[in-house]
Structure formats: C-alpha cells, structure tokens
Chain A
C-alpha cells in the first residue's frame, strides 16, 4: 500500500497533445488509470498507441495537456520533485552514460538522490549484486551487452528504493535468457513491496507477470482488468468454449486481425 492509503498511480482524464509542423497530434486522449499499491500493472498497446507518452507524463518527463495524475498521492504536475523521490524510472532505451563504469553510475545516482558517499557506495554494491553485475562493476558501460545494460538501468532506477517503479518495455530486444532474468528481478522487487508499472508489447510477458493490465489504443484505454477477467469476458462475448489467449484479447481490443497485427505489431504473431 502507498503510505497515503490510496492508489499507487492515479490518472484522470489524462490528455497529451503535441504541436508539430504537421499540426496538432493527440497522442493521449483522456486516459483513466488506477494502479493499486503492491501490484504489477501491465500497460499494453500497439506501436504509437500512447503507452510511452502516458508513462512520460506519469514520471514528470512530459507536461500534461489536461487531466491530472498522481503517484502515491502526489500530483506529478504540481509537485514533480516530490513525485521523483517516490518513483523509479527505466525507459524504453537503457538510458545510461556509456563513459562511466556501472559502479560509478550507481554511486552518482545515489549521491543525486541525497545519499552520503559511504551509503551511496554501499547501495551501489547491493544493487550490483542484486542484478548480478559484480564482475562487470568496474568496467565502462559502453562494453556491456544489451542485457547487462538493461539490468544496470533497472538497478539505477532502484537506488533510492522507490515505492513505484515505472518500466517502459524493459525487455524489448533482449534474448530469452536475459528476458527471464529481468522477469525474476521484477518478481523479486515486487515481492519486496514495490509497485511495478510495466509497459510491454510482449503479451506473454504481461500474462506471466502482471496482476492487472490495461490496453491502450489510439490514445484511449480500451480494456482494463486482470488477464483472467479479460480472457473470460472475451470468451463470454464470443460464446466460445475455447479459452482465449491474451493475444486474442489484445487483437479484439485494438480491432486488429491476426493478419494485420502480424504486419503492424511484430510481437503479436498467430
């Protein structure tokens, strides 16, 4: 539970418009979300549906055109610094400084979050062990593999022991072994009480990890519930005896056929 007793993440009528050379683009068109404290919440959607834009608004990285959003009861637009103290963020690209070593990066983040030098060094070592990067700790990040960079990115997001961890497609581009390692880390982190807000295009990932999911399409939430609820709803509507998969739910929610999806969303295959 968040210490305010309310939801860990709350979005009400969240809207984001971008103004560019080609006019006004409505990336997010009124998103309502409620993420409960302690759960792993999956946020799914096709490419360009508004997942990353929503996450960037929730994590104070983008201004909000209209609506409101809060994390652990703190309004992200009114009090962004307070919100930043309570959240950890790992975005789509493993955002790391390639010229630092893994240890230097974690110590720097510890210092930036206000830890003293000794505690920052200690916390860096704890996290390096947690993500199994002890051996590579003093190597420059530029030489890390994609999986190692993701794990370090995850560790950097955990330096200050956040209450809510936002992960934007944390396993995209990873090999199956690295993906499983990240899943294990997420379960462990969640087991320690951290709420996880996860965007992914891998439906199997959402099915395996998430307590509840929301599907966004064209800037609007089109389904929300537990994976089991969503599958059961679809089966009931179709009147099928076969249990639908989360792929079927996703395709139904986004109005895509398997044939179209195979072209548009690589990860959704027949």
Chain B
C-alpha cells in the first residue's frame, strides 16, 4: 500500500504543477451545462415540470457535467508517455506490487475527482441549484463522481497498456460519449422512446446519472443511490482486475 501512496503522491505533485490542466478539465463540462440548460430550460420550466422537483433545468443537467468532468482524467495519457519514454519499464524493474503501478495514478485521479466535483457543485450553487439531500448528499455526490473518475481512468489505462499508443488511447476515450448520451440525460427514463429506454436501462452510466440526480433533486433515496454506487464498485473491481492482469502479462 505504501508504494501505491508514494506513486499517488507523485501524480498529485504533477497535477499541482499543472493547475491549468484542471481548469480545462472543468471548462468543457461547464460549457455543456450552460449550453444544454440554455437550450432546454424554456421547454422545461420548473413550475410546470414535475421531474425537476421545483428546481431549474440546470439542476437536472448537473450530473452530466459531473460525469463528463470526471471522465477527462489524464492518467492514461501520462501512462502512455511513460511507456514510450521508458519510465514505465523503470517502474516495472522495481520490486513493488504490480497493482501499485496501476493504482498509483488512479489514486491521483480519485483525489483530483474530489476537487473537481467539489468545485463544480460549489460553482453551481449560486445559480439556484440546491442539493436537496443536504450535506451528506453533497459528500455522496462528490464521492460518486470521483469514483466514476477512477473507474473511467482505469478503463483508459487498460487501453493504454494494451495498445501502448497515445492515439489509440485518445480514441478509446470517445467510447464514453455514446454511453453518456444513451442515458436519460435530457429527460427521465420513463419519458424516453421505447428503444432509447431499453438502451438506457442496459447502460450502467444511467444508474450513476440517476443516483447523482436523485441526490440533487430528492431527499436521500437509497433505492436510487445504491445502484449508482453498486455500478461504480462493480466496474471498479473489473477494471482493477483487468489492469493488474495486463501489467502482469506485459512483455
């Protein structure tokens, strides 16, 4: 575990040296929040739209912003750079558990995810968004967003380890966009057309989005919150297993 922490601290030092990268990670998701809300807020006025539970449309869109921001991690690109530059082999030649090498950067992504989600939610509050589930809900929102960031970074690291190519790793990131849009991202699931509802139901990102949305719009509704955490934890275990297996067989 100490090796994982040492490698995680290294990633944090690097992140602190590049605060501008964190700003860019937030800019695009916040841009989508403003644009999507601007386009649809008139269609869904809070007074007559039941699913908004009295809040503005921006509150409904905030989960997408959080998920998008958490999916812009740099771990995989740094890993490819280390593979290409030879530092990855240097780490492999050290007697540390193989899982520490992959977990180190994921720890960093988790810490960055906590900062990002906190800043985004705090930025949203002055614009009339409230966290209906209270302080505990706020913590759960931040935690769930950060955990998703770790899982997604794990998926991207897996592509990096398999392909050892920056171009392929970048392309792999595009997989998230269909997953993000095959969700109830503009309206609740029961208002989607049937094919879209089926697609959203089988898409794990839907349960994350619904958990985050529930924490923003409702009081603590564990029936919606737990599936979100369940999805993240299950995917996290799978990603960690695949990452460790890949690095163990890395030639």
Q: B96 contacts the other chain (Cβ, under 8 Å)?
A: yes
- In A45-98, the 8 Å CB interface with B consists of 56, 59-63, 80-82, 84-85, 87, 89, 91-98
Contacts of A153 in B (CB 8 A): 90
Inter-chain CA distance A80–B247, complex, in Å, is: 14
Query: How distant is A138 from chain B, measured CB to nearest CB, in Å?
Result: 13
- For chain B, what secondary structure do more than half of its interface residues adopt (helix, strand, loop), or is it mixed? helix
Inter-chain CA distance A91–B88, complex, in Å, is: 11
Q: B135 contacts the other chain (Cβ, under 8 Å)?
A: no
Q: B191 contacts the other chain (Cβ, under 8 Å)?
A: no
- In B31-61, the 8 Å CB interface with A consists of none
Contacts of A93 in B (CB 8 A): 85-86
Inter-chain CA distance A153–B90, complex, in Å, is: 9
Q: A260 contacts the other chain (Cβ, under 8 Å)?
A: no
Inter-chain CA distance A104–B16, complex, in Å, is: 14
| Residue tally, chain A, CB below 8 Å to B | 32
User: Please, which residue of chain B has its CB at the minimum distance from the CB of A82?
Assistant: B95
Q: A99 contacts the other chain (Cβ, under 8 Å)?
A: yes
User: Please, which residue of chain A has its CB at the minimum distance from the CB of B101?
Assistant: A112
Q: B251 contacts the other chain (Cβ, under 8 Å)?
A: yes
Inter-chain CA distance A98–B81, complex, in Å, is: 10
Contacts of B86 in A (CB 8 A): 91-96
Interchain CB contact under 8 A, B95 and A81:
yes
Known A61-B93, A156-B90: A99·B17 in contact at CB below 8 Å: yes
> Of B2, B3, B6, B90, which contacts A95 at CB under 8 A?
B90
Interchain CB contact under 8 A, B94 and A112:
yes
> Of B13, B96, B251, which contacts A104 at CB under 8 A?
B13
> Of B3, B18, B87, B92, which contacts A97 at CB under 8 A?
B87
User: Please, which residue of chain A has its CB at the minimum distance from the CB of B100?
Assistant: A112
Q: A218 contacts the other chain (Cβ, under 8 Å)?
A: no
Q: B82 contacts the other chain (Cβ, under 8 Å)?
A: yes
Contacts of A94 in B (CB 8 A): 86
Interchain CB contact under 8 A, B93 and A60:
yes
Q: B245 contacts the other chain (Cβ, under 8 Å)?
A: no
Inter-chain CA distance A92–B84, complex, in Å, is: 12
| Residue tally, chain B, CB below 8 Å to A | 23
Inter-chain CA distance A31–B1, complex, in Å, is: 38
| Chain A 93-110: CB-based contact to B (< 8 A → 1; otherwise 0) | 111111110001000110
User: Please, which residue of chain A has its CB at the minimum distance from the CB of B83?
Assistant: A95
Q: B162 contacts the other chain (Cβ, under 8 Å)?
A: no
| Chain B 94-106: CB-based contact to A (< 8 A → 1; otherwise 0) | 1110000000000
Interchain CB contact under 8 A, B251 and A62:
yes
Known A97-B82, A99-B14: A84·B87 in contact at CB below 8 Å: no
Interchain CB contact under 8 A, A84 and B14:
no
User: Please, which residue of chain A has its CB at the minimum distance from the CB of B17?
Assistant: A99
Query: How distant is A111 from chain B, measured CB to nearest CB, in Å?
Result: 4
Interchain CB contact under 8 A, A84 and B93:
yes
Inter-chain CA distance A97–B18, complex, in Å, is: 15
Contacts of A104 in B (CB 8 A): 10, 13
Interchain CB contact under 8 A, A91 and B90:
yes
Contacts of A87 in B (CB 8 A): 93
Q: B221 contacts the other chain (Cβ, under 8 Å)?
A: no
Inter-chain CA distance A19–B27, complex, in Å, is: 44
Most buried by A among B10, B85, B89, B94: B94
Most buried by A among B86, B88, B91: B86
| Chain B 184-210: CB-based contact to A (< 8 A → 1; otherwise 0) | 000000000000000000000000000
Interchain CB contact under 8 A, A97 and B10:
yes
Interchain CB contact under 8 A, B3 and A112:
yes
Contacts of A84 in B (CB 8 A): 93-95
Q: In the complex, given contacts A91-B86, A91-B89, A112-B6, what are 5 additional A-B residue pairs having Cβ atoms less than 8 angstroms apart? A: A95-B90, A97-B82, A104-B10, A108-B7, A111-B6
In the A-B complex, list the 6 residue pairs whose CB atoms are closest, starting with the nearest: A95-B86, A93-B86, A84-B95, A95-B90, A89-B93, A81-B95
CB pairs A–B below 8 angstroms (20 shown):
A56-B89, A59-B93, A80-B95, A84-B93, A85-B95, A87-B93, A89-B90, A91-B86, A95-B89, A97-B10, A97-B82, A97-B87, A98-B85, A99-B13, A99-B14, A99-B17, A108-B7, A108-B10, A112-B96, A113-B94
B residues in contact (CB < 8 Å) with A: 2-3, 6-7, 10, 13-14, 17-18, 82, 85-96, 251
